[in-house]
Amino acid sequence: NNSDLYFELSLTDGSTNKNVTLYPRSTQLITANEEAASLTGEVVSTYVRSDQHLKVNFPLN
């Protein structure tokens, strides 16, 4: 996270959900299943509409 803000992520890895906090000016290591092609999730600390969080996708190739 190369910003002055922190972000809270709710990541989905198959049927498992993980909550991750990305702190300002820091690096976070996130693990995933070896078979996973990508991680998807929502930035629950950021809204794109009043009823919807920012959705993210992290390809793992």
pLDDT at 48: 96
pLDDT per residue as tens digits for the range 28-55: 888 888 888 888 999 999 999 999 999 9
pLDDT band at 24 (very low <50, low <70, confident <90, very high): very high
Residue ranges of domains in the chain = 7-59
Compute CA distances 1 → 16, 43, 54, whole Å.
23, 13, 16
| 17 vs 47, residue with greater confidence | 47
**Is pTM, for the whole model, over 0.85?**
no
pLDDT band at 22 (very low <50, low <70, confident <90, very high): very high
Separation between Cα atoms, residue 44 and residue 24, nearest integer Å? 16
